Structures are given as C-alpha cells and as structure tokens.
RNA sequence: GUGACUAUGGUGAAGUGGUUAUCACAGCGGGUUGUGGUCCCGUUAUCACCGGUUCGAAUCCGGUUAGUCACCCCA
C-alpha cells in the first residue's frame, strides 16, 4: 500500500549495521498500481461471455480479428486522436526508450488499426475491410467508478466504405452485443458534418457564447477556448438555459452530411434499433466526422445512466491524416469494464442478499487415493479418464482421505473413485455414488468404461432432482 | 489536475482513550493414521503507513499512500 521509500541512506551502510535481529517486520506486500486491477476468477465467466459474443458477432458480420501492439509511437496518437484532446494531452502513458523513441501505451484502438491498415496495404484488399479487436487500453486518468487506467475495449472498424448503411449496421452490431449480454441500451446519435461545416459551426458557437461570457463559469470559459462543442453537454444550469438560443449543428451541416445523416436514421428505423437524436453529442476524439454515437444503459439510476458504455462514429479523414490514401471509414468500441460491472450488478440482483461465491470448475468423477501405491495407480487412472474426455478431479497432494472426499463434494463430483493399497493389490477400485452414498467394487481396468455406462444410463433416466 | 468521504484478519462487520482487539463467513489442521455435504475443537490481525499528543492510541491530531464518489474528461 505505502511502498516504503528507501531512506536516503545508501544501502552500503546496511552491511555495516549490526546483523538484523532476524526479520521482525514482515515485508510490506506489494499492491497493484493505481487504477489497475486484477480480473479475478469469480468474474471470469462474465468476461468469457463478452469474449464469446464479441467473436460470434464478428463472425456474423464478417469482421476479421486484428491484434495491434499495446505500445505505439506517440506521434500516432498525437496525429490520430488529436493533440489538444485530453486523451493525448494528459492521459497518455508515454515514455522515452533507451533508444530514444517516444512511445505510448495505446489509449484507444482505432488509430492503431488505421495504422495497420495503411502499413499492410489493406487498400488492396476487397473494400470495405472489416476488422475487430479486443484488448486492454491505457489512460493515465484518475480512477473512479467504471474508470480504470487499464481498461478493456472491443472495437469494430470498417475501412474503405462511405455508405451510411455502414454507420447504421455498426450501431445494430453494438446494440445486438449489449442486448446479448442482457443490457438494455439506447444509442444517442448526432452528426458533426464535414470538417469544414464543423469548423464553421464551431465559430458560430464560439461567437454566440462569447457574447454571453458573463454567465459562464470558469470551467465553461476554459471549454470555450479548448473544446467549444463540449459546452453543449455541460451540466452547468446556466448553459442549459443558453443552449436553447445557441446555434444548432443541424443548421450548419453541409448538404452531403445532412443527407448522409438522414439515410443513417432511415436505416435505423428500418432495423428497429432504439435511438435518440442528441444534437449536443460530441465526442472527445478529434477524428470524427459526420455520424457520431454513444450507447447508454437504460436505467432508473440517473447517475449510472450518465456513463457511456461505448461509442463511435465515422472518421472519413483519419486514414489520410495518418498518411494513407483518402479512405472513408467508421467504427465503434465498447467499454467492457463498464459492461461487465452491469452484468455483475444484474447477477447480484438475482442472487439477492447472498454473496456471490466462487465455484470451482465442476467435475464428473473425483479420484481419491490412499498410500503410496494407491497414489501411483490413481495418477495413471486420472490420465485414463482425462484421455477419455471425462471431467475428472483429484487432490493427489493430500494424503488424508477425508480431505479428498470433501474436495470431491465441493467440486460437485457425481462419482468418487477410491483407490488404496488393498484395491491396488486386488486390481480394483471403490466406486462411490456421491448422491446415493452407495459404493461398489469395480475392476480397475473397467473403471472408465463403468463410468461411461452409468453416464449413459443417467442420460436415459435423468434423476428426478435434476 | 480539483474537491469530499473512507481505511480493523482472505471477505463482511463490531469496537470512539486502558479489552489477551470481538463476531460471522471463508481458509488450513484435527475429531485416534481408509470415505463428503451436518456437528465439535484448534488455528489465521504488530487495527494501511509514518510521525505527534498522552502515563496509556485501533480510538484524538498531522502527513503519506490507497480506495470510493463527484468535477474535468471519457469507455
């Protein structure tokens, strides 16, 4: 927790000091870094679900997997995400290597994917190229609810296609994913237009808020300078009032962006995806053009409903600005940490008051052994079961039969096999039915066969309790 | 980067100046060297760290670190 700063003294002096009178103080345990966390076994089934659904949707929508490195040259993010964005300005994990390269842990997945698209000449593949990724991202941010310095995203990118149907289909894909994980979500959408129309709008907006400067808070004044579009979703009540009179982005969209946006909406209506038009939705990364969207969980809890589960949009200029040929593209990513925490809440709600407990992987057969001879035979028997594809458990390191039976029970074994000295000499094993508590003697050579037979019987006549 | 609150075994809690620091759950070991889900017993904490006040600190004060929440921003 508090990593003891080494005192200013040189370690050399420690050698001169009197021999330490044994180690009285236990060494301080080392803790995870701030904002980092362990994904523990108890939550892994939830994470597994997200991995599985990510992959199956990728297959269904013809996305190919790509894994880019977790570290890239820093300039990739400066050029890709935007120099003046917070993500780059204050949240980038960057350092200089011994070789003098400036490198950064990736704060998001799109820029690296675009880099790979350009670097590997994917423009020569049939367009559009659809790529998906799943992995950790890093942002040096102050940790908070649903926010970590290492967090996981799954993302889908479509490169080389300008059609609005791509935008709509990406939204369906994300919606299906959230739905598949049991989360009710709506998508909020907006259009930022072309870079030119966006710039014009920005100027108009700045002019408007300048005229009202007296009413702005310090925070808002800062935003006015840095990211005026953000002013629109400020929580400041003064802004809420001013917003009504403020210029609207739709009025500034160029014709092409406007018709693109209308087409996207048409497609969404056709697909029945629940969406909300949000004229104030802006995204924090500079590369977005035209369509932008964010997912929010439908929730009675307003606070939680505020947190985006994911977002994305069209970035028609990014490939070019990273040195590729002009290539339209769109994509989105979902924040798995937030999604998993929602899934967990739901799981907890179902469990009621009872704490969620970790259940070890269940096993069909458990082999318990006694004595050295028994243990050796059990070792071989375990392999037989494993090769036969039967889930089998053991606790070979325990000599105590009782402890082993406890383990068999905990692992939910239907049968326990006991093999001790007597059985080894007779060439048999004890086969215990854990539910019935009855036990029979079986030829050791037929043990696997016997279990298979009983298994088949069980399937034919499932026990009433099941 | 700013602010508020918090910090007791693996987990959840009790303890507000003097206790061998309490309880539940989990873990481990037993209950006469061969059998589970019940029961019984034992065992598991220098009270986050450093310093101060005091005869005496888990308890009061300061600092540090971390956690939580909010802002900024975002997933």
Give strand letter and number of the nucleotide nearest A374 (CA to C1'): B34
Of all protein residues, which has its CA closest to the C1' atom of B70?
A144
A339 CA to B15 C1' in angstroms comes to 39
Is the pLDDT at A99 greater than 50? The verdict is yes
pLDDT digits (tens, 9 = 90+) for A188-223: 999 999 988 888 888 888 888 888 777 777 777 777
Burial A21-50 (b: 16+ CB within 10 A, else e): eeeeeeeeeeeeeebeeeeeeebeebbebb
> What's the whole-number average pLDDT of chain A?
86
Q: Tokens 């048999």 identify what position?
A: A428
A459 CA to B54 C1' in angstroms comes to 74
CB atoms within 10 A of CB A102: 12
Of all protein residues, which has its CA closest to the C1' atom of B73?
A86
Is the pTM value of this prediction over 0.95?
Answer: no
Measured to protein CB atoms, the chain B nucleotides within 7 Å are 1-3, 11, 27, 29-31, 33-37, 46, 48-49, 63-75
A357 CA to B24 C1' in angstroms comes to 16
Set out the domains of chain A in order of their start, with CATH numbers.
41-194+254-348 (3.30.930.10), 365-458 (3.40.50.800)
Q: Which two tokens stand for residue A322?
A: 């990273």
Give the per-residue pLDDT at A140: 93
Q: Is A412 left (phi over 0), alpha (psi -120 to 50) or beta?
A: left
Give strand letter and number of the nucleotide nearest A408 (CA to C1'): B36
Give strand letter and number of the nucleotide nearest A407 (CA to C1'): B36
* CA A45/CA A447 separation, integer angstroms: 32
Give the per-residue pLDDT at A5: 31
Q: Which two tokens stand for residue A443?
A: 């030829």
Give strand letter and number of the nucleotide nearest A26 (CA to C1'): B46
Of all protein residues, which has its CA closest to the C1' atom of B49?
A2
Of all protein residues, which has its CA closest to the C1' atom of B7?
A1
* CA A204/CA A200 separation, integer angstroms: 6
- List Cβ neighbours of A68 (8 Å cut-off, separation of 6 or more): A106, A109, A112, A113, A115, A116, A133
A353 CA to B16 C1' in angstroms comes to 30
Give strand letter and number of the nucleotide nearest A4 (CA to C1'): B49
Give strand letter and number of the nucleotide nearest A310 (CA to C1'): B75
pLDDT digits (tens, 9 = 90+) for A162-192: 999 999 999 999 999 999 999 988 899 999 9
Is the pLDDT at A19 greater than 50? The verdict is no
* CA A406/CA A434 separation, integer angstroms: 11
Is the pLDDT at A24 greater than 50? The verdict is no
A114 CA to B53 C1' in angstroms comes to 62
pLDDT digits (tens, 9 = 90+) for A113-158: 999 999 999 999 999 999 999 999 999 999 988 899 999 999 999 9
A2 CA to B10 C1' in angstroms comes to 20
Cβ–Cβ under 8 Å, residues A122 and A159 = yes
pLDDT digits (tens, 9 = 90+) for A300-350: 554 444 578 999 999 999 999 999 999 999 999 999 999 998 898 888 777
Is the pLDDT at A41 greater than 90? The verdict is no
Phi, psi of A143 (to 5 degrees): -65, 150
Give strand letter and number of the nucleotide nearest A332 (CA to C1'): B75
User: Cis (ω within 30 of 0) for the bond into A128?
Assistant: yes
A411 CA to B65 C1' in angstroms comes to 40
A144 CA to B19 C1' in angstroms comes to 39
Of all protein residues, which has its CA closest to the C1' atom of B65?
A2
A167 CA to B59 C1' in angstroms comes to 60
Give strand letter and number of the nucleotide nearest A406 (CA to C1'): B36
Is the pLDDT at A2 greater than 70? The verdict is no
A355 CA to B27 C1' in angstroms comes to 17
Of all protein residues, which has its CA closest to the C1' atom of B37?
A409
A133 CA to B42 C1' in angstroms comes to 53
């Amino acid at each position: 927790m508090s990593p003891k700063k080494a005192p200013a003294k040189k370690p050399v002096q420690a050698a001169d000091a009197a021999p330490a009178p044994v180690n009285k103080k236990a060494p301080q345990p080392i803790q995870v870094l701030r904002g980092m966390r362990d994904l523990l076994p108890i939550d892994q089934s939830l994470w597994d679900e997200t991995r599985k659904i990510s992959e199956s949707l990728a297959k269904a929508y013809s996305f190919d997997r790509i894994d880019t490195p977790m570290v890239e040259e820093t300039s990739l993010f400066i050029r890709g995400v935007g120099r003046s964005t917070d993500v780059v300005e204050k949240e980038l994990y960057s350092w200089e290597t011994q070789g003098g390269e400036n490198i950064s842990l990736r704060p998001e997945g799109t820029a690296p994917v675009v880099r790979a698209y350009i670097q590997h000449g994917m423009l020569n593949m049939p367009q559009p190229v659809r790529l998906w990724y799943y992995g950790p991202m890093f942002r040096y941010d102050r940790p908070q609810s649903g926010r970590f310095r290492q967090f996981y995203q799954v993302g889908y990118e479509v490169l080389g296609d300008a059609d609005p149907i791509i935008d709509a289909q990406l939204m369906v894909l994300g919606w299906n994913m959230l739905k598949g994980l049991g989360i009710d979500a709506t998508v909020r959408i907006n259009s930022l237009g072309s870079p030119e129309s966006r710039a014009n709008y920005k100027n108009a907006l700045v002019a408007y808020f300048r005229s009202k400067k007296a009413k702005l808070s310090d925070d808002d004044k800062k935003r006015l300078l840095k990211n005026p579009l953000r002013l629109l979703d400020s929580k400041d009540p003064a802004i809420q009032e001013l917003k009504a009179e403020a210029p609207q982005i739709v009025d500034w969209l160029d014709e092409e962006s406007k018709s693109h946006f209308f087409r996207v909406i048409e497609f969404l209506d056709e697909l029945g995806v629940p969406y909300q038009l949000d004229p104030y939705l802006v995204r924090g990364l500079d590369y977005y053009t035209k369509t932008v969207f964010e997912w929010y969980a439908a929730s009675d809890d307003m606070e939680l409903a505020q947190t985006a589960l994911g977002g994305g949009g069209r970035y028609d200029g990014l490939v070019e600005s990273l040195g590729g040929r002009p290539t339209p593209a769109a994509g989105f990513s979902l924040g798995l940490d937030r999604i998993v925490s929602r899934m967990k809440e739901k799981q907890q709600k179902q469990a009621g008051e009872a704490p969620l407990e970790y259940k070890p992987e269940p096993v069909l057969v458990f082999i318990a052994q006694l004595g050295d001879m028994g243990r050796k035979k059990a070792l071989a028997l375990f392999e037989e079961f494993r090769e036969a594809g039967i889930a089998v458990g053991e606790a070979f390191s325990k000599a105590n039969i009782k402890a082993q039976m406890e383990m068999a029970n905990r692992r939910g074994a239907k049968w326990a096999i006991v093999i001790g000295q007597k059985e080894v000499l007779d060439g048999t094993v004890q086969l215990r039915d854990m539910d019935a508590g009855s036990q029979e003697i079986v030829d050791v050579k037929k043990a696997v066969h016997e279990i298979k037979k009983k298994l088949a019987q069980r399937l034919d006549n499932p026990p009433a309790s099941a």
